[in-house]
Amino acid sequence: MTAIELTHVSKIYGDSQNSLTALDDINLVIDKGEFVAVIGPSGSGKTTLLNIMGCMDTITKGECKISGKSTIGLKDKQLVEIRNRVVSFIFQHYALLTNYSVYDNVTLPFVERNMSKRDCMEKARHYLNKLGIEELLHSKVKHLSGGQKQRVAIARALASEAEIIFADEPTGALDSVNADNLMQILADLNEEGKTIVVITHDSHVASYAKRKLAMKDGRIISDERLCSLIDESEERYTGNE
Mean pLDDT, residues 77-85: 91
Give the pLDDT confidence of 119-157 residue by residue, as tens digits: 999 999 999 998 899 999 999 999 999 889 999 999 999
**Helix residue ranges per DSSP H, 86-206:** 102-106, 117-130, 146-159, 176-191, 203-206
Give the pLDDT confidence of 94-128 residue by residue, as tens digits: 899 999 999 999 998 888 788 899 999 999 999 99
Phi, psi (deg, nearest 5) at residue 159? -60, -25
Domains of the chain in start order, with CATH, are 1-86+202-241 (3.40.50.300)
Whole-model pTM: value is 0.86
Neighbouring residues of 76: CB distance < 8 A, sequence distance ≥ 6: none
Contact call for residues 13 and 52 (beta carbons, < 8 A): no
- 10 Å CB burial of residue 114 (0-12, 13-18, 19+) is exposed
- Evaluate the CA torsion angle 5, 8, 14, 19 in order and state its sign: positive
Give the pLDDT confidence of 199-239 residue by residue, as tens digits: 998 999 999 999 999 999 999 999 998 653 333 333 333 33
Contact call for residues 67 and 222 (beta carbons, < 8 A): no
Q: What's the CA gap between 50 and 24, in Å, rounded?
A: 14
pLDDT of residue 54: 95
Q: What's the CA gap between 189 and 170, in Å, rounded?
A: 15
